[in-house]
Chain A
Amino acid sequence: MASEPELARRELHAAPPFLTWTGLYWVVAGALLAEIVLFIALTLAYR
């Protein structure tokens, strides 16, 4: 059976249920970038 520090270490490095953590961070940052681009387009289109 794994020790408590080992369990804590495993939990710390547990992968998310989809993608990887780095992949998820890119999704969040990419969504923000897409929103900003969309808002710039909206500002320019309807000024």
Chain B
Amino acid sequence: MSSLDWLVLLGTLGGIVAYGVYRTRGRQDMATYLRGGYQEKWHTIGLSVMATQASAVTFLSTPGQAYQDGMGFVQFYFGLPLAMIVLSVAFIPRYFQLRVYTAYEFLESRFDRKTRQLAAFLFLLLRGLSAGITIYAPAIILSSVLGWPLRLTCLCMGAMVILYTVAGGTRAVSQTQKHQMVVMLGGMVVAFIVIVMRLPATVSLRNAFHIAGTLGKLNVIDFSADPSRRYTLWSGLLGGFFLATAYFGTDQSQVQRYLAGQSITQSRLGLLFNGLVKVPMQFLVLLVGVMVFVFYQFNLPPIFFNQPELARVYRTPHAAHAAALERDHQAAFGRKRAEIERLDAALNRHDEESIAAAEKAVRASEADSASIRAEMRQVLATALPHPATKDADYVFLSFVMHNLPRGIVGLLLAVIFCAAMSAVASELSSLASTTVIDFYRRSLCKNASDAHYVRAARWFTAGWGILALLFATFASLLDNLIQAVNILGSLFYGTVLGIFAVAFFLRRVQGTAVFLAALLSEALVLFLFLRTNVSFLWYNVVGCAAVMLISATATKLPGLCTPRSPG
């Protein structure tokens, strides 16, 4: 990395953190430290909500996903704008009326303490584990591609976040996220422009789209009704709606962002801004991946983007096989490039017959290249004891490091660091507020002073941060656990959303009924996960619907869960 890249990277990160700490300096009470003092305007809320959702993996893995599988992933976000409308209508007014610090406080006012603490406990469990992963996942990719020590990368990212989150609380998180999100969006726009400019002069944007489409990368919409297919129009609209409603409406890391709003109006506008911008933003990130794919149709890509992993193969008896495959890969690329250039020329001549013939040849040569890459993955799997064969995560960073000009490399690394830091900051702040409000103040230390709870929140923020850092540092020893954590979120969100949906929409249902319904629904979701191949997006629909249905039915059972009589 050049000095200019270091300057851009450290200047961007340091500047944003210093600004956040400066803006939130001075004495803070509990409302300021945990709720941001009701000061934020809609644009800060909107950007902060987006920055919380966009982790570093969004910018590392998503372009790689488009590079390999095309644009279909954007369908995952189709339910989000609709969820923002529902949250604006139903959730925000209730949270503001009760002046709650956490979403789970609302559940006690509606049901009882056990239901509140069940939901809060599930949040602490999921978010506490995922905070470590949010640091670890980008750190392993960054350290691998940049050659930095893994633990030092984790420590640098984590320490900076802990510093400003402990110092400034939720307001510092929102203020830094606003600027981090601007860097992220700006960085991806710059990346897109630079990649398009680096395509050969004869290749127009339209031709680039045609080449990508010929090779199946512009398959945005999938109309399939097969529930085992992960991303379709229907799973995105319905499953995505339930997932987004659960995540933005019941996950304290998001609820805390819009509870900081000056008023209901500002919080609603912030969420609607997110609803308007999110789908185009994800489309842009995926399109960057597709343009990287087109770039590599004219420039030789590595046979495997995770180069340190490939280097390990060359230290085994399989080295000769790997070297032969690399030679085949280069030859296949030469043939494919010639066909792509023929297609490009035919497109420029508008010669339909030649276009059709060139498209056929391009697809055939891409199939050749794909089979060679698949064989290399087989070699990796055979040669190495614990091979990392999922190469998509390394595509974008590898491209940035080897093909983009000085300065832009630093900017895009800043994008990745900003994304990691913003997501972790929200997680730590929300973990601390839930621990203090839903457990410490509610059950352990009921009548202490405001200053005492602020001090406790600072200690809990630091404690959760250190726990996340420890988890990230030793995560390499816990591969299976990481996989489990990634799945856990989708297993529990539907049930938690069901509890909130009952609270909002089924007025007659009381605490015991919803508590029992939550336990039964969770068992049903776990059954689907363990015994069927239904895509995880549908778990949110099933979990939520089951809680509503079972609790409504249980309420009708005489004696067990009968509603309280009015008055």
Contact = CB atoms under 8 A, between A and B. Distances in A.
Interface in A20-47: 21, 24-25, 27-29, 31-32, 35-36, 39-40, 42-43, 45-47
B264 interface: yes
B62 interface: no
Contact of A32 (B89, B209, B212, B279): B279
A14 B233 contact: no
A36 B88 CA distance: 22
B218 interface: yes
A23 to B, nearest CB: 11
A17 B263 CA distance: 13
B127 interface: no
A35 B213 contact: no
B81 interface: yes
Contacts of B82: 29, 32
Contact of A36 (B97, B212, B221): B221
Contacts of A46: 209-210, 212-214, 218
A11 B264 CA distance: 7
B97 A8 contact: yes
Interface string B210-239: 101110101111000000000001000000
B218 A43 contact: yes
Contacts of B212: 46
Contacts of A43: 218-221
A29 B213 CA distance: 28
A32 B78 contact: yes
B280 interface: yes
Contacts of A36: 78, 221, 233
A16 B265 contact: yes
A12 interface: yes
Given A31-B276, A43-B219, A16 B97 contact: no
Main secondary structure, interface of A, reads helix
A34 B220 CA distance: 14
Contacts of B272: 24-25, 28
A18 B510 CA distance: 39
A32 B500 CA distance: 25
Given A14-B264, A16-B265, A46-B212, A39 B221 contact: yes
A15 to B, nearest CB: 8
A8 B268 CA distance: 15
A45 B221 CA distance: 12
Interface string B70-98: 01001000100110110011000100110
Nearest to A32: B81
B269 interface: yes
Contacts of B263: 11, 14
B78 to A, nearest CB: 7
A24 to B, nearest CB: 6
Contacts of A14: 263-265
B410 interface: no
Contact of B213 (A15, A16, A45): A45
B162 to A, nearest CB: 35
Contacts of A24: 269, 272
B218 A25 contact: no
Nearest to B280: A35
B187 interface: no
Contacts of A42: 218, 220
Contact of B84 (A16, A28, A35): A28
A22 B276 CA distance: 15
Contact of A35 (B264, B265, B268, B279): B279
Interface centre among A8, A31, A32 (most CB of B within 10 A): A32
Contacts of B494: none
A35 B279 CA distance: 8
B275 interface: yes
Contact of B220 (A27, A31, A32, A39): A39
A39 B280 CA distance: 11
Nearest to B70: A43
B88 A11 contact: no
Interface centre among A8, A29, A42, A46 (most CB of B within 10 A): A46
Given A25-B272, A35-B279, 19 more contacts: A11-B264, A14-B264, A14-B265, A16-B269, A21-B268, A24-B269, A27-B276, A28-B81, A28-B275, A29-B82, A29-B85, A31-B81, A31-B279, A32-B82, A39-B71, A40-B221, A43-B218, A45-B213, A46-B213
13 contacts: A11-B264, A11-B265, A14-B263, A14-B264, A27-B276, A28-B84, A28-B276, A32-B81, A35-B279, A36-B233, A39-B71, A43-B219, A47-B213
Nearest first, the 8 closest Cβ-Cβ pairs linking A and B are: A46-B213, A39-B220, A46-B218, A32-B81, A28-B275, A43-B221, A25-B85, A43-B220
Interface of B: 71, 74, 78, 81-82, 84-85, 88-89, 93, 96-97, 209-210, 212-214, 216, 218-221, 233, 263-265, 268-269, 272, 275-276, 279-280, 283
Interface of A: 8, 11-12, 14-17, 21, 24-25, 27-29, 31-32, 35-36, 39-40, 42-43, 45-47
